[in-house]
Structure 1
Amino acid sequence: MSEQRTRPVGFGIWLIVASVIGWWAAFQLTIDKFIQLENPDADLNCNVSVMIQCGKNLDSWQGEIFGFPNPIIGLTGWMAPLVVGVAVLAGTRFPRWFWAAFGAGMTFAIGFVGWLIWQSLYATNLGVLCPWCMLTWAITIPTFLATMVHLARNGTFSRSERFRERAGRLMVWVPLATILVYAVVIALIQLRGLDLLGEVVGMIV
């Protein structure tokens, strides 16, 4: 078994970098939520324009879908990739069930992000883009893709040596796959952006 397979340094580094960025975005949203609670009329730094802001998202029911502010999920959730990334660099070997659980967590994360993207664009009470939320989306997408490829190559999905070898070749395609997903999200934003712009102009007129 190769060293790359037993100790995926690149994957570990990415988990650490992604978790730090994701945690920082969640932290900023948490601070903005505190400011909003103290002063509902406060002009948050993330409120760039009518269409790009986080205040409306934080104040919506989507912003606390589980009964508490969503940023708390980010503050706690991004700790998992950080710990796993550090452990991977340290040479820790996790059992198959652990990787399966980690993969389940990342699947929940990408599903939640997909739902938030849809809500931000198409929910009648939102229709705005949150800067810190978009940073979270941008980090979660490649982290999910890289994790799925890693689970395929480390034997979590299948113990077949042939399957694992083929999966190992897919990691170099994660950046391209990420760009393609970004393109889809940007296209949705552009299409929805035209509708939002029309609504804004209509309100002014």
Structure 2
Amino acid sequence: MLLLLLLLLLVLLLLLLLLQLLQLLLLLLLLLLLLLLLLLLLLLLLLLLLLLLLLLLLLLLLLLLLLLLLLLLLLLLLLLQLLLLLLLLLSTTTTAAATTTTTTTTTILLLLLLLLLLLLLLLLLLLLLLLLLLPLLLQLLLLLLLLLLLLLLLLLLLLLLLLLLLLLLLLLLLLLLLLLLLLLLLLLLLLLLLLLLLLLLLLLLY
């Protein structure tokens, strides 16, 4: 009888310990689920950032192409104006006589020619700057995209690790539940044995 009582106590202690372990495992599962949700949110945010960066890349490329087209159009217009001024200068110097009016018009035309040449030089410098800045901007944006992709890969790896941990914890929970069921069965068997012994003792006494 005493041995059976001791066995009952041991089984009850084991049950209590297993229940505490189950509580701890459930808490761990909840924490892991929260971490998974946070990582999923981070993944979504990073995907949104990637999309925004791609849109920025496209917008920057379009803006740079538009600027290049505008600069090319301005260059063409300036070249046409230069040709017209040269034709005017040739016409004034060949047809008109050397009077004061023709000299003033030629000087004005020469000044306009110089201004147009300066504008041409400035536009050429702007074109060169844009052509130099284009690859740098593209390289920077590509580096940002690569960094974001690396972050996405790392987050995916973390998600996989957390999923593996969740699976392991679920397996542990199942094992603990099986152990609890086995211990409950043992308790029932021990109680039945105790009842049988009590009945035998009562029969022997009477």
| TM > 0.5 | no
Greater radius of gyration (CA)? 2
Instruction: Specify which structure has the bigger relative contact order, considering alpha-carbon pairs within 8 angstroms and separated by 6 or more residues.
Output: 2
More helix by share: 2
Give the alignment's TM-score, normalised by structure 2.
0.33
